[in-house]
Structure 1
């Protein structure tokens, strides 16, 4: 009898593992296909052979500039930012056990945006200074949210409510800055706020690249502890998880990835919000969803950028398309949570 139960458990685990690897491989294949499409597609469509030659350093008239200077940095920015938003959003939603607990909703990206807009409109600062200010703004915002939500004990509900309040306040600050800004500065601020891959340059992406290469493996390494945190504080502690240390590592890693991604591309709306639930629904339970969520984030950003460029008569930034996709899901989530009594 016991052997049959063990065999059933093992069979179930094998089935879930097979599904996880299949879904992850499929998501990676879609992400690679979108990367190739971004490199080939534009005002001039270049064959794959020309794209490969340019990437290998060969000079081809027209293609070298279009692919090497414009499309390749744009694609890299989409991959890095998409993975950062997707993975970090999944971490916050899982760790805080609430689908609303993502960087967009609880105000972290709003902190980065407010700092960036202040630098653009008030200080007329350079792009490098705007990026640094965006990172600092995001970090200070998350510190403020956690300090205000600490109380006598850690409360997820309190953190989310305070985060939403901070976000509303920062959005009001952004609106005020746009009202008092000079006409020449407002378009630059609006482009940044919309979340876009336009004008991406490889030299500006190295900090984000380094951050993702350092902190993404850390998040993956802490994937099991993250899944245990989802069970609750007491359950995670009884399973041997140092909850304070684990939460600190996950928060620092996620916030740094979000801040650098926001500094590079602006706050691309709802990618962090949508990636986790989509990845969890596709890959199933039982295994860490950090990698699938990161891949979903890449797909959302790249697909939205392609749709924004070529699906309409007017070109739209990626953040506008992701906003259109994410807003209905947010409304659906709020209605379903209200029916369940979770709000």
Structure 2
């Protein structure tokens, strides 16, 4: 009697499900890429001097020379649009790494002390050292790294548990915010005004050197995050399961945290601590992905789309132009309240 070599129904079903997940992830990623590209161009079209999409694309790609169009696009609007794009990509990727690594939807650089640590170092440089440009970027990066190391050491108890890290991060955030308030009271009026504008968050305040540094970091670190995504998915299952799969848990966790911290720190240095983008980009991407959740690239693209839209609203749709962080805060605060309420209802609120 011959033994059947046909694949088992469960194996066949698994392959179909995996194919559908991969197809959906590809479709969502491509759609988000097109949406971000359209928003990027739209950001440079609108304003007191209206431009067509063709004029913007031709100027950005240097396809033809038009001094007036080139001045508006390359000199005035492209730096702001590129800043919104890069900061959104960085915050979206960093936020979803934190949320998956700590297995908690509340895990975000906004709430675990990373933003506040970077902000404290940058504000100290602005107030005490009259620093600017790349010096502020360097200080923000150092502050974020120190804050991350401090919380990692404090949260370590034979491993890093999500809720413990988040609670320590919230305490560190309050402590750093208190120090920021003290620094502002010691500042001259002009320095305090500059510092407060920086703390509100705006994508139009970076200089060329800071922007190039962030763009370079995004180009390098997003592929690194993709390489580490397999380890990230394994760590979501818990340390014991990850070790059984051959993952070096602490080394992988340290690499992922370092990637997220550097992305966050440079984004904060370029645009200030823009809130809630890192918090909501990952959950929105997961809703779009359906069963194919956890994609770092889709979350980064959602972050870029959110920040480009927020900048359009802040500059062009409100009666008075406002910093971008005001719009993201106004949208993100209700989402946070909803998230806290639904998390608590589901019994996952700790």
Report the TM-score when normalising by structure 1: 0.95
Q: Give 2:218's aligned residue.
A: 212
Match of 2:55 among 47, 50, 57: 50
Query: Conserved in 2, the CA contact under 8 Å of 1:110 and 1:167?
Result: yes
Alpha carbons of 1:65 and 1:199: their partners in 2 closer, same or farther (altered >3 Å)? farther
Q: Does 1:162 align with 2:184?
A: no
Contact 1:70 1:200 in 2 (8 A): no
- Structure 2: runs of 5 or more not aligned: 1-5
- Structure 1: distance between partners of 2:309 and 2:105: 23
Q: 1:203 to 1:227 in 2, by over 3 A?
A: same
| Cα-to-partner distance string for 1:1-46 (whole Å, 9 max, x where unaligned) | 9632222222222222221111111111110110010111111111
Q: Is 1:271 aligned with 2:263?
A: no
1:285 alignment counterpart:
291
In 2, Cα distance between equivalents of 1:184 and 1:241: 51
* Residue among 68, 81, 86 paired with 1:80: 86
1:238 and 2:244 correspond: yes
Q: Show the counterpart of 1:301.
A: 307
SS state at 1:199 partner: coil
Please give the residue correspondences for 1:171-182 in structure 2 after superposition, counting only pairs within 5 Å.
171-182=177-188
Rounded to whole Å, the distance in 2 between the matches of 1:134 and 1:341 is: 33
Residue 28 of structure 2 corresponds to residue 23 of structure 1: yes
Q: Which moved more, 1:233-242 or 1:150-159?
A: 150-159
Secondary structure, aligned partner of 2:189:
coil
- In 1: Cα distance, 2:334 partner to 2:41 partner: 30
CA distance in structure 2 between the aligned counterparts of 1:286 and 1:177, rounded to whole angstroms: 45
Q: Structure 1 154/61 Cα, relative in aligned 2: closer, same or farther at 3 Å?
A: closer
SS at match of 2:77: helix
8 Å contact from structure 1 (residues 112, 138) kept in 2: yes
For 1:106 and 1:287, how far apart are their aligned partners in 2?
23
Match of 1:38?
A: 43
> Residue 260 of structure 1 aligns with which residue?
266
Counterparts of 1:70 and 1:174, CA distance in 2: 32
Separation in 1, partners of 2:254, 2:238: 16
Equivalent of 1:310 in 310, 316, 332:
316
Any conservation in 1 of the 2:205–2:270 contact (CA below 8 Å)?
no
1:76-96 residue CA offsets vs partner (Å, 9 max, x unmatched): 111111111001110110011
What value does the CA root-mean-square deviation take over the aligned residues?
A: 1.7
Do 1:74 and 1:201's aligned partners in 2 also have CA atoms closer than 8 Å? Answer: no
Pairing 1:216-227 to 2, within 5 Å after superposition: 216-227=222-233
Q: Aligned in 2, Cα 1:64/1:199: closer, same or farther, shift over 3 Å?
A: farther
In 2: Cα distance, 1:217 partner to 1:199 partner: 27
Secondary structure at the counterpart of residue 199 of structure 2: helix
The partner residue of 1:103 within 106, 109, 118 is: 109
Query: Are the equivalent residues in 1 in contact too, given 2:96–2:294 (CA < 8 A)?
Result: no
Q: What is the TM-score with the length of structure 2 in the denominator?
A: 0.93
Distance across 1 between alignment mates of 2:11 and 2:134? 57
- Residues paired across the two proteins, number: 343
Distance across 1 between alignment mates of 2:58 and 2:15: 48
